[in-house]
Amino acid sequence: MNTSPNSPSPIEFSGRVAIVTGAGGGLGRQHALALAARGAKVLVNDLGGMLDGSGGSPIAAQSVVDEIRAAGGEALANGASVTDFAAVQAMVQQAVNAWGRVDILVNNAGILRDKSFAKMELADFRLVLDVHLMGAVHCCKAVWPLMNAQKYGRIVMTTSSSGLYGNFGQSNYSAAKMALVGLMQTLAIEGAKNDIRVNCLAPTAATRMTEGLMPTEVLQALTPQSVVPAMLVLVGQDAPSRAILGAGAGTFEASYITMTQGMHIGSDAQAPERLAEHLAQVMQRDGDSVPQDGSAQGTNEIAKAQAARA
């Protein structure tokens, strides 16, 4: 449904170079195909492993590259594991050697090791953090000097509603996905001076990760293709920065980390009891705000403390 009588300006990527991780299938494949269809040169990264991260094969990435080339686009395959920083650096260098720059990074690679926290092995917790969080860190670290030097960059972190709001059996995945939001917040601040815009995408899509978890009719609506418009907006020339955009079945939402107005309680011996008594007021969301950086909390606290003494 077009909500405007006038056609919007097309989002296109001619002359841009994109890296998409975990792009051998599912959502990553659709990201890579869409970027290529709109003119980007795309490095398709995929380890080619199983859903739990085991194994590996270059076939998946090469298959997507073949699709892009068959449609007249430019693409290269790469089988690096995002957990291996040296391999990630080599991946970025592969793109630079071929096309001279990297403009767009879509951190999409991920695995699942779902179990309730009581039953989860710590090794499975660490591995999920390593792939989702450190994988994104490695990729961002490898492209950061290039984007700073060229004074242009667009980075997307793939977060999740499981990270933003929690989900039973996914403590490892949730922790990693919320950590990516924190990474995005700071990189967006640090990259602003050189027009590096960093955002989060929270997709709801039927992929290998969702098979068997939802009814068939629901999965049919949650196509990976229906998430792609959000990704394209978040990496476009006019992209926002520090956005957390949800997408699924053609619907799009924004999520925010907000802070309430709070109230001054004091810090004397009876402060815990007074805080408990007024906790509902402290948590009242009327007039809450979206802080521009972490200093906003301290600024608010000091202002209220000073006002209480006046």
Active site residues: 173
Edge-first strand listing for the sheet containing 75-78 = 75-78, 41-45, 17-20, 104-107, 153-158, 196-203, 244-248, 251-255
- The tokens of 39 are what? 């003119």
Q: Give the side-chain half-sphere CA count within 13 A for 27.
A: 30
* Whole-number Cα distances in Å, 105 to 49, 101, 238: 21, 11, 16
Q: Locate tokens 């977060």: which residue?
A: 159
Separation of alpha carbons 78 and 61, rounded Å? 7
Dihedral angle of Cα 253, 257, 260, 262, to the nearest 10 degrees: 170
